[in-house]
Amino acid sequence: MKITRINEPYPAISIDDFIPSQSLVRAAANSFEIVDECDWVKYGADNGQIQYCSKNRQYTPPAALSVLDYIACNFDPDKAFEGLTNKTFPDFSYYGGGMMITPNYNGEGGHLGMHVDADIHGINLNWKREYSAILCLSEEYDSSFDLLIHDGNSHARIPYKFNRLNVFQCSENSWHGVPEITKGFNRKTLGVMYWSLISEEERKKARTKAKFKYDLEFE
């Protein structure tokens, strides 16, 4: 596995060939086609950007679930980002993550604008989001699939690559998103979120909804 560390604009890491079996990753990608439309959760914003996520592990096909479980059991962000956090844990229900797709409707291009996710888990209200781990599934590539990260001042582009695991720390300024998808493909990923336990006082100060920012500049 090739590991690339990114320090700016905020801590992130990319790991190539994270899943040992490429055939399993391909099976996970193909399993998107068998998920019923009613089993997706639609996330949208006021400028037409859309992303779909699977509801939870109950609605996740076996191949995709095997890959998600492998990530959750084999990637330890406390070790990978030594000194930043401790005692984080994955959510094996994959609420808010799991199978994720940014669709390209009729070749018109889908996108997900720059945003920071909600701090708080939607069900377990004393869980705070610490890291997002995103596995790239599509073998088709276009530079518009790349992950953009920004802290409000500086920015970086993390290229999308089949079987690459991209992980970044979540914070108030960990803006991230994908530009407009220009080719006739859907951008498929699998996401595992890592959490920490917080107090009631910390929860009251935490963000309960995602927020978007539309004026970030990129060179």
Per-residue pLDDT reduced to its tens digit, 145-175: 999 999 999 999 999 999 999 999 999 999 9
Query: What pLDDT score was predicted for residue 215?
Result: 81
Q: Which residue has the higher pLDDT, 124 or 34?
A: 124
* pLDDT-derived band at 110, boundaries 50, 70, 90: confident
Segments in the chain forming alpha helices (H) = 22-30, 62-74, 77-80, 200-205
- Please tell me the predicted confidence (pLDDT) of residue 105: 61
At residue 210, the pLDDT reads 86
pLDDT at 151: 95
Average pLDDT of the residues in 85-92: 93
- Top-confidence residue, 202 or 104: 202
DSSP state, residue 169? E
**Mean pLDDT lowest among 77-91, 96-110, 127-141:** 96-110
Query: Among 16-30, 61-75, 151-165, 177-191, which is the least confidently predicted range?
Result: 177-191
- Tokens for 80, please give them: 């990978």
Which among 68, 69, 65, 79 has a CA at the least distance from the CA of 34?
Answer: 65
d(CA 105, CA 111): 10
Q: Which CATH architecture is the domain 3-212 placed in?
A: Sandwich (2.60)
Max Cα-Cα span within the chain: 47
| Mean pLDDT, rounded, of the chain | 88
Tell me the pLDDT tens digit for each residue of 133-147.
999 999 988 888 999
Average pLDDT for residues 73-84, to the nearest whole number?
Answer: 94
Reported pTM: 0.92
Per-residue pLDDT at 44: 61
- The predicted pLDDT at position 140 comes to 87
Q: Report the relative pairing of strands 112-116 and 155-158 from DSSP bridges.
A: unpaired
Is the separation of the CB atoms in 128 and 202 below 8 Å? yes
Average confidence (pLDDT) over 49-69: 84
Tell me the Cα Rg of the chain. 16
